[in-house]
Homo-oligomer: A and B are copies of this chain.
């Protein structure tokens, strides 16, 4: 399986062109659009969402992860073996949190280059072909070089900020819920929120935090939009009180 995790959005032709490459170069391999809504150029947000959103993918999955504002510049291309999965993308910090949290994770530089590369779309021209190779059990380079100092980082293991607001208005943070006590209260803006296990535990319109289905602390309002009800925006800090 190949899973895609990018900031490409779905409206533009970019995901379709990546999929066309994968259909040609890895025929028969299922391709999953896991997440294309990383906030534009949001390397750090992507770095914290990536391990959460990919943790339930089956062993052997190749994740093509591309948030790449420096495309065309000097940043390297990498693939990272982390647990039973492989991640492919730019070496710009996107894999730092994943690598720090996964014992034995190893990053390899990709020096292979396709015959023709655009200057702005390495997702299609470089990373998709490499993802196709890896999904078919081939290596892009015959003697891959281990990267001992991946770009950027280290970053904290958990980031107490709002990194993504989903279409229900729920605010997803970069904190793993397992690091918090269920008795913890969280302050965001002027609101102090306690924990709930399910939406149904709270009255309609009431705000709370809970462990979302990907293990992250998420701020929600039962049958309402937390972003509007609580006045939340991307990047807002969250404090444990």
Contacts and interface: CB of A to CB of B under 8 A. Distances in A.
A11 B74 CA distance: 30
Interface in A38-72: 40-41, 53, 56-58, 69-72
A17 B56 contact: yes
A125 B213 contact: yes
A219 to B, nearest CB: 13
B20 A37 contact: no
Interface stretch (A113-121, A132-140, A152-160, A183-191): A113-121
A8 B30 CA distance: 21
Contact of A41 (B17, B211, B223): B223
A214 interface: yes
B13 A200 contact: no
A58 B24 contact: yes
Given A24-B58, A198-B73, A13 B40 contact: no
Interface in A194-228: 197-201, 210-214, 223
A231 to B, nearest CB: 19
30 contacts: A1-B23, A1-B24, A9-B166, A11-B37, A11-B167, A12-B35, A12-B166, A13-B34, A13-B53, A15-B33, A16-B34, A17-B56, A17-B213, A20-B32, A20-B57, A23-B32, A27-B30, A69-B199, A71-B198, A71-B199, A71-B200, A72-B198, A72-B200, A118-B213, A119-B197, A119-B210, A120-B199, A120-B212, A121-B212, A125-B213
